[in-house]
Amino acid sequence: MPADRGVFPGQWGLPGGGVEDDERIEDALRREVREELQLELSTMQPVYFKGDDREKLYPDGRRETMYMVFLIYLCTTDGADPVINDELEAFAWVAPDELGSYDLNVATRATFREVGVIPSERSESRNRSRPER
């Protein structure tokens, strides 16, 4: 995300957005991915959800606190290359072992931990506390 907007300004995250009035969740997911990445989704499988209070920063500097529900889906696309819109600053395809070098927002980090892409905080702290042989 650009540093001047969003719920997690200046941090890396997953594509997403809000559900519009009278829109089904899956339709919103397809629309958001189409708008942000110009990709069409082939499959969608819900894998994780969480609710949390977050503050959103708008480009004009205004801030708004809102309750957000994060619905995480495992998706496949039509195979095209992503083309980002002006809501995003950059994109990257990243191998799981390289994610540690990215400033991931807290929701994305929690999602990756929940679905097993990166180790949980508990297993990371266990590994750090083990003495070397």
3-state helix, strand, coil in the chain (%, to 5): 30, 25, 45
Q: How far apart are CA 76 and CA 92, in angstroms?
A: 16
> Which one is the CATH code of 25-129: 3.90.79.10, 3.90.1150.10, 2.170.190.11, 3.30.420.10?
3.90.79.10
Q: How far apart are CA 96 and CA 74, in angstroms?
A: 15
Any idea where the domains of the chain sit in the sequence? 25-129
Nearest to 56 by CA among 103, 13, 94, 116: 13
DSSP letters, 58-98, are: -TTS-EEEEEEEEEEEEEEE-SPPP---TT-S------GGG
For residue 65, which amino acid is it?
Answer: T
Name the DSSP letter for residue 109.
Answer: H
Taking only the tens of pLDDT, the chain with its 133 residues reads 888 888 888 999 888 888 999 999 999 999 999 999 999 999 999 988 888 898 998 989 999 998 988 888 989 998 899 999 888 889 898 998 999 889 999 888 988 888 888 887 655 544 444 544 4
